[in-house]
Each structure stands twice: as structure tokens, then as C-alpha cells.
Structure 1
Amino acid sequence: MLAHEDPHARFYGLKKLLTEQSRTGRLLLLNAINTETVSQLKASMIIGLGKFANTDDVSVLSPFLKNEDARIRANAVEALAMIAGEDAYRCIISCMSDDDNRVKTNVVRALQNVGGQSLFNLLKKMSQDDKVWTRASAAYAFYRIKSPQSLVALAQMALGDSEPEIRKRALEYIVAESRDGNPAAVVVLEKLKQSQSQDEFAAGMPETQVEEASEDDVIKLLNSEEAARRYIALSRISADATGLSDAFYEAFCREQDTFLLSMMLTIVRERKLSSAFDRCSQLLSHADDRVRANAVEAVAASLPAGASLDCLLPLLKDKYSRVVANALLALYRLNRVEIIPELRIMLGKGRESFKRSALYVISQLREPILVPMLEKMLHDHNPRVRDSAFEILHDYADGRVSGAVILLQSVKKQIELEKGKDKFFENGLDKVFAGVLSMLRSVGGEVIKDSERKALARNPQAEKQSLLQLGQKCLQHKIADDRTLESITAIEAEILHIAELIKTAGLENSDGSLSEEARQKSEQELLKIEQQSLMARREAVLTFLAFEVYSNRAHLDSRSASLLMAEIGRVDANICSYIPQHGFSMLPDETASVSEFFDVAMRLYQKHVATFSIYTLLQFGRWVAMCFALAFVFGAFSALSQIVAGLFALIFLPYLAYKTLGIIVEWKINVALMVDDGIHGREYNKERVREKAGELYLNVFSSSLKKHLLLGLWLFLALIMSGTILTAGRVTGNYTIVSDLANLLAMLLLIAVFASAYFKYLLVETAAILEPGRDAFVTAESMFLRDKVKLAALFIFSTFIIQLVTGTSVEIVNLVSGTLPPYIGGLLIFAVSFISDMCLAPIVFSTLCIYTLVCMRKSR
């Protein structure tokens, strides 16, 4: 069954195979896993293989850790964790830097099973491995562990690794920890400057080894004046569930170092120490952002029975987004606030940090009421926010949150449509002809070349460069807030200072001793790392500034918009997000020419030519059948009595006009809805369109009837005005040049007066159909006044082209009809002309629908 063509059968076979757990089943699974094409099934097979817990399968599963599909990578990590063993954990550790959150979560879960010291010993072995990538993975893992042991291990790698890139990376990790406020990292860096070998470094370091320490030793470290020693004590308290509550609380109450305070608050949160609630509450007003954010979590976790979290309510207005998010989560879980209004307030601030924090809140709650909020963030200006929202939507869908699966399918469809935008208007015939041409070329031995212009592939490097250029331009013209400008200025001053120090260190002469020369080189290397780090910080600030400007580009003033136009366009062309900001649409730009509007309508008609043509002919057939029935009754009455026939005609001709208008309105509604669906990439659903047409019919019919009555009044007025001029031109009773001029003037006046009303009301039906919530006449008039010439030219141009196509068809048939009897030839010409007019009628109205949709998009 695993080799069956039907994926459902293969899935059933997999379930049966896992139920039996036999050796034969494992061999069958090994054979099927590499040939499986459905990613969901392959991910399930990977988990199934892990359940056999065979160490020989590590080599089979490890290649899946580099798969493009994040689900497959995450399942590969989970399967390797089931197998366990040193080789499996080595592969798992290499995935710690994966971009996908699900993969990272599975890595953390897997490594939690290893245990603290066992994991450290495994990483130590990996740091001494012959393979460079293994040592690089170990260095990154040490950096993520964040313990005194790991810092010492990184320092030893920075001193003794044979690969320069590994040494440089280990140093960068220590510098990053130092900048983050870790006091132990500061000590490690100082010792690195003074040490030339691993032995010398180890001799100068404070005791951080993992031998079992007594409670007295830990208390002594905890009471030390050196922040690095207090950090070591806290690391041991965090790793071991020791009974040092009193000593820890005393140290917690007197601690002033922000890094260590944050660490202590994390310990309080993890252990739910209610005795520390008062101290945590005091830290809610701390100046440091990270301390306040951790204090909120600690207060919520250590809440004593009967206590209230009202102290967190003011923090919903905090300047730091993480504080607001943590407070909102804690208060909502106790039903103290409404989640939707608070999330809207966070999003209303407009800053990316608050949007990301709002997404964090949404990801933690997983409630159906948050799905619409998630949908809104999928259309955010910032592509990073859209990508994060899409990842969270995946988690919601996996958790079967109501509405998430449908939304995920819709977004995926939008992504696919965006990717295939260049071939959107292709229909079945286009694909058939393309296949025939390819076959003919291959038979003729012709090399098939892709003549289409290939779009430049978007990549993170190009995106980063475009963002940096935008940020630099903003900095150049001071299009930034004062805080950002001050931050950039301070970083640039530090970079210049470091550059001077490097230059000075290079000019210093050592005393000739090997140790002094090594010390100078070590200092120089550390200064270079610091310089690179500062440059990276500067780029990060510029990138953040660029994203803020790009996200709010619609609100820039005219001066800033003109200065940044080129850079914003470059960013727009290089953004790597795959989540479209707006719903898919093939609508032309508002500034597009008349021919472009007609071209889009024509191509949409060609794609759905059968649907448009058949529906139009069916509606016309209904009208013909109705006319035939009335004509038959009229003929029957005529045979009986001319007076009765006249009365019948007097009564039923208005009825015929009324029903004719109804059929035309019904046709326009259906065509407009088909255009709306087609231009936005939605599949044509006959039942849904029929249901919506029924809802719109009365409103559209009344608008259309009013329109035609008004046009009748305008025609009557135009006839009176032109008739007056004609009468004035013939007042002498003789035909002179004045009479000819009067005729010309009367005709022009008739056309001008009637056309002014006709084009004013031209879009009434489309407005009533596509925007039913507004007054159709007001909407149509506003679109007419927006660009009168363009609307008139669009209607005249499309009508002219359609008549030209019809005339060409008639001319072609006329050549053939010459070989037929006159009666048959004339009938054929009439039939072709008539059918051509009927089938092409939707194009003119589709053009007007597309113009209406473009105007509506602009107004929104």
C-alpha cells in the first residue's frame, strides 16, 4: 500500500505499518520514505521511522534536517530525539540555528531530555571534533546555553581551535554576551586579553567547573561583590533545584545589576516563588526595559492566593512592547481585560516592535477570536510582520483553531497566484498550443530557449542592501526621530574611536618578547571584533529605520516621498517576503492608459471565453423566446381583430421593455461578478454568483431603471434644444449655408447634451453591483468627475475595437460565402455578425467593471 498511487491509500498503509511495528515494516518504510512526493506524508513517515528507535536510521534521517519544508525538518528533529544516542544528538544540535520556530522548539525539547551535564559533555566532544561544521555547531550551542561553563568553553575554542573562522566566531559570541550585560563574559574577555594558551587562560579564570558545590559555597558566591561570581551562583541555582530560598531572596532584594536581576526574575518565574512577589512588584517600575518585562512574568507566576494583578494595569501603556505583551497575557488569563481592544491599541502604535509583541500574544493564546486579528496582520505594510503572522497561522491551523485552516488555505492560494502572475491569463488552449509548439520544435531538432524576460531572483543580500540604502538616505536627509539619530551618532563615534585604537595598537612596538607580541595581537583582534560588532549594530539600526519608513510610506509628506522614491522602489523590488500585502489582483494601475485597461479586459475574456459567451447567448436566448411568445400571441390576435391586437401591443410593449431591462440587468450583474472573481483569482462558483445576483437584483434594477428614465429625459431635452436650432436655421424657408450650419450645430448639441448625461450615468450599474453599500449615482458621478476624458475614451475605444473585430469576422465569412448560394451566404453572414456581436458584448462591459474596480481600490 505504501507504493499505491493514491496518497490516502499510502497514509492508511503507514498507519497499519506503525501499528504492527515489525522489522519488515521498517524496511518497507525505509524504501518508501525517499520516493514519497507528498510533503505531509513524508513528514509522517519520518516520525514513523523514528518510532522504531533504530540507531542505524540516523544516517537516513539526518539529510531531512536540510529539507526546504520546515515541517519535514521539525519532524526529523523529533524522530532523531526518539532514537537518541550521541550521533542523533549531534545532528539535532546542528539545527539550533534554524530559522523556523517549530524546528527550534523541537530542538529545545530534544536537548532537555539529555540533561545539563550530559549535554555539556557532548558539546565538549563536538568542540574537539575533526569536522569544522561540528565544531561550529558546538560553538553556537555553547552561545545559546548561556552558562559560565559555556563561556569558558567558548574562550578555549577562541584560543585553541585550528580554524580561524571558528576562533573568530567564538570570540564574537563572547563579545555579544558581554554587550548584553553578562558579567561573566566581561571577566572572560579580560582574561582572554591576558592569556596566550588554554592552560594559561584556565589558570586565570575563577572556578566555574561543575564539581558538586555545597550550599555554603553557593551562598558565598551569591554574596560576593564580584558580579561574575554572583552570576556563577545564579547559574548553579537555576540548573539545580537547591533549597536556597532564604539566601536567594536576600540576594534578590539587594541585587542592583540589571543582567543579574533579569536572571533572578526568571528563576522566580520558573519556580513560582510567592515569597518574592513583593520584590517583583517593586521592580515593575525599574528603569531597565528587560527587568520590567521579566518582572511582569515573575509577578504573574508568583501571585499569592487572594492577591490581585491590578498593579499590571498601568503597564499596558508602557513604552516597551515586551512589557505590554507580558502584562496583557497575564491580565487576560485572569479575565481582567478584553484582548481585542488592547491588541488594537498595540497595533495602533505603528511600530514594528509592538506589532511583533502583539503577534507573540496571539501565538500564546491560540483562540478563535484572534483569527480575524491575525488575518489583518497578514496584510500589514511590514513584510516581516506578515511572515511572522503566516508562521503563527500555521501553528493555529495545526492546532485546529476554528477558522485558521480556511484562512491558511486562502493565503496559500494568494501566494500561488502571486507566484504565477505572469501566466495568470493563460487558458487551456494556450497550454495546448504551447505543448504542440514544443513538440514540433523538439521533432525538428530545434533547441528550445526561454525567450521570456526572467525576473531577478530576490535574495536576502539584495534586500539588506536596498534597506541599508534607504536607511542611509533617511539619515542623510534627517528623516528620522531624534532618538534614532542620537543612537546612530553615538555608534559612529564609537566606531571612529575603535578605529583609532586599532591604528595605535598597530603602531606600538613590543619589547620583543613572544608573550608581549601575542598580547598585542590578541588586543588587536578583540578591537576588530568590537569594530565589526559596532558596524553590525549601525546596520541593524539603519535597517530598522528603513523598515519603519517603508512600512509607513503611505503617510510620508510630499518632500520625504520625493526624496526617497527611488530607494523605496528598490526596497519594494527586493523584499523577500512571500506573503502578499494585499489580496491578489490583476487590476491595472490607476494611471494606466486606456489601451491597458482594454488589454486586461480582453485577456480576462480570452481566459474565460466559454463562460462569458455561453452565459451571454443563454440570456439572449431567453429574450428571443420571450419576444417570440409575445409575437405569436400578437399574430393570433391580429388574425382575429386588429383592435384587439393593438390593445394587446399597447399593454404588453411596456411589459416587454420592463422584462428586457430585467434580463439586461441580470446579465450585467452576473458578468460584473464574474469579472470581480476572475480579476482577483477566485474560482467561478455558479451557485455563489447566482445567490449574490439574487441579493443585488432589486437594488441594481431600480438604479438601472432610474438611469434609463433620466437618460430619456436628457434625450428629450437634447431633442428640444437641437430642434429649436434646426427650426431657427429654416426660418427663411430656403436651404442656405446657414441651414447647413444650423444642422451641424443641432447635431453637435444633441450629441454633447446627451453624452454629458450618458457618460455621467455610464457606471451606475457597475457601482451598484460592485459597491452596493453606497449610492450608485453618487459613486458613478464621482468616478466620472475623476477623469471624464479617460472614461469616455475607454468606452469609445473598446466599442470601436469590438466593432472592428466583428467587421473583420464578417469580411472573412464574406470571402467564403461567395462560393455558396446567395440566400445561404447572406444568412451565414448575418448569423456570424450577430453571434460575434453577442459573444463580444461582455468585453465592453468588463472594461467598465475593471475601471470601476480600479477607482474603488483608489478610494479605499
Structure 2
Amino acid sequence: MPDSHPPALDKLLSDLRSPQAAVKKRAILEILRSQAHQALFALKEVALQDDDVEIRYFASKALNFLKAGQPPPAAHASAPPAAGDLTLESAANVLRTGDVEARIRCLQQIVQGKNPRFLSLILEVSIEEADPMVRSVLPLAIGILGDRTHVDFIIHRFLKDPNARVRANAIEALERMGSEEAHPYIIGFLQDKDNRVRANAALALNKLGKVNLIRTLDAMLRDPKVWMRDSATYALSVIKIPEVVPLLARAMDDPYEGIRIKAKRGLQGLAAKAIPGARDVLERFPDVKDEESLEDFLRLGEAELSAEPVAAAPVAAPPVAAPPAPAAAAAPPPPSAEPAAPAMAVALGRLGCVDATETLIGLMEETDSRVRANAIEGLGHLKHDRAYQAIIRSMKDGNQRVVANALWALKDYPHIDIYPHLEAMSMHRKEEFRRSAIWLISRLKTYSAVRLLERRIQDTSEDIRKRSTTLLKQLRDEGNSVAKSICQKARIR
């Protein structure tokens, strides 16, 4: 009896090829919900070959969850010969004439056997192989079966491959071979467009010195893209040096549960080695779970899908005269009719136009608080010291919207801890400042931010109490463990 198909499987498979990222992401989530194992191969293709790094990240995560629940293969399923039965002739036949899945399984069996007599065959196949899924396994096989004499082959055959998985695995193979001559080639991949390639490059370059490694991972950890932070946290979790403790501490404060779990595992490994500070960080974050659930990932996917795209108009903190309703605390307010020049300057900031720096700094002297707030947002996108120094000065501004935008812009600046300032803002004598603090907490969603709501649900202002309670419920329903803990303690239903 054939396997039952989930509803509209053909439609889901078609959607995986859609040019629209949101459609593909929705299809990935629906395949996962339906446990549609028939889509496993199509999902694997997306994970390996999609042009969008974020789509590859989501497909890879979904693939892991789907494989974990995959039923065992049918007894009649075709497979290459068992590892012990492989001969050069049978392996060559599979690698040259078998389908993609069979070729991959054959390579995996060769690697498991660790028999160098297959190396010459793998080198020959590497020159001919056109499929990127198969090609991604080849450098790892050469790295295990070969030696340093094969470094040049990996560099020139795989390191500049158009497929990101092939590049990442080539770097991993070079690291395994311990080849110092490969380091100059790997350095450039710290700037690769793919997150896994960058993470593998950082791991391989650990031998070059800790400073460059830490700087690279620090920058990745501050990126707004969840897949970027995930790769950085993975790399940090396997680098057992004291310098990673502060970075893993920041990852423990990440809005996404999966990243917090990775960071926790890394810190547990460091604590087991008695690395100073690791156990202290773990004790500061007692609510981080041990395992990421399917619900956590689906919740992340839904949040990414429902997130509003960045508009051309500036996003700002809520104005005093028209604060956002509590139910919409996490959403940016609609753009107001603001002067064209500041809006243009903010757009230049978003595009990373350094030439806009002086224009934006000049706008911070304007009397209109909306203009100053927009200028800060633009400077925040530029991410260089002169811009940050100007933003720091604005933290003493008398307008709550300006201060909120400044704190948001400074959240990724390594020399400023925004949380003491956010805490002071949340307890400000003026209600509009406390209201803006709640708005900022709704955007940050970190452990250090959300814990501030515990006091705000007892605020003297009924409006602040309602906003804080509404936000806690919203965050709890999104899976935020800190919000869940506060709701339980305060008996918020």
C-alpha cells in the first residue's frame, strides 16, 4: 500500500521552487508540520542549492527535524553494496551510473571504511561529478582518505565551487588535514555570503590566532539575521577557549530559543573544563531549555513570515501624542508625514552610505524630535565609531523617542551595555519614557530586556501595567521562557 500523501503535496513541492522567499518558507514549514517524508529529497535540494541563504538555513533545520522522524527505509529499497562488500569495480559502477542518493550513500560507505584504496577513484569522480549534492561529499572524503599532498587538489577543485555546501566542506576538509598552506586561501571566506562557509572558515583559522577569530564571530553574532547568529553560536560552542565565554553569554540572551540552546551546550562544555566564567553565565540563565523542539522552530518560522518588511519610511519609537495600542506593542508604528530630507538620510544610512554621516549628525541638532530620532536610526545603520559616538551623546536627549532609538541603535555596539540604560528608562518618572521602554523591550525580546517587565506589571500607571501584561502574554505565547516564568510567578493567564 503506498504511503499516504499530505494535503496538496504537489503544491508544496511546486512552492519550494517559487521565486518568492515567503512562499518557499511557508512550504518548508508545511512539509515539516505534515511530516511529508516524500518531500525529503526536494527539501535537501533546497537546503543545498537555493540562492537565498536564509531559505537554505530554514530548509536545513527542517531537514534535520524531518529526518529525526523518518520511518526506516523499506526492505526492498535500492542501496549500494554494504561497506564490507564494496570493490573498486562496484563502487565505480555506482559512482558513475547510480542516482544521486545512491552515489551519496556509496561515498559515505567508502568514508566509513576509511580504505585509501578508493582514493584514486574518488579523485577521478571529483573531476567528472556535476551534481552539487554529491560534489559536497567529495572534499570530505578526500580529507579523510587523503593526506597533505591532496591539499592543492581540494583548493583548486572545490574551494571556489559555486555551491556553498561544497565550499564549506572543502574548508572543513582542509582543516582536518591541518594544512597551513591552505590558510591564505581560507581567509577570504570569512567574508563569504554563506553563513556555514564563514563559520567553517573561522574554525579553520583558529590556528591563525584568537584575535581574528573572535572578531569575526563577534560580528556574526551581532547580525540581525537568525541564521547568521546560529552559525556563529555553533562555531563558538566548539571553540574551547576562555575568550568565547562573553560571546556565548550574549548568545544566551538571543531571542531565538535554538541559539540559546546551542550557547548553553557550548558553555556546559567550557564549564566541564573549568573555564572561568562559564558556570556563572549558565547560572544567570536558568530557564534555557536543553533541547530545541519542533514547536520552537515552527514558531520561529511563523515569526519570520509574519515580520513586516523594512519600509522605505523610517521606523521610529511611538510618539507621545499617539502611543501604539498594547496589542500591537511589538509592531512599529505607521510612518508619519516627516520631512523628505531626514527620510532620505535614513535611507542612505540603511544602504550603508558613509557619506551620509555628517548630514545625519547635523540633523541631530534639529528641534523636531522626529527628525532627531530618524537621524539616529540612520546613523545606527552605518555602524562605525563616529556614528556611534554621536548616538551615545543623544542618550541624554529629553525626548523618549530619541532615547529609545539611540538604545536600539547601540544594542550591537560592543563598548556600551544598553541594559542599565533601558532599566533606568523603564523606571523613568515620565510615563512616556516607560511606555517607550516597553516598546523597546518588545523589539529586543532578550532575557535582560524581558525581565524588566516583572516590575512594570506593578507600575503606578494602569496603561503601563496593561501594556506590560499584554506584552508578557504575547512573548509567553511566542515561547519566550523568561516571559513564561514571569507569567507563572504573577499568575497571569
Superposition TM-score, scaled by structure 1 size: 0.28
Task: Give the number of the structure whose alpha-carbon radius of gyration is greater.
Answer: 1
**Larger relative contact order (C-alpha < 8 A, sep ≥ 6)?**
2
Superposition TM-score, scaled by structure 2 size: 0.47
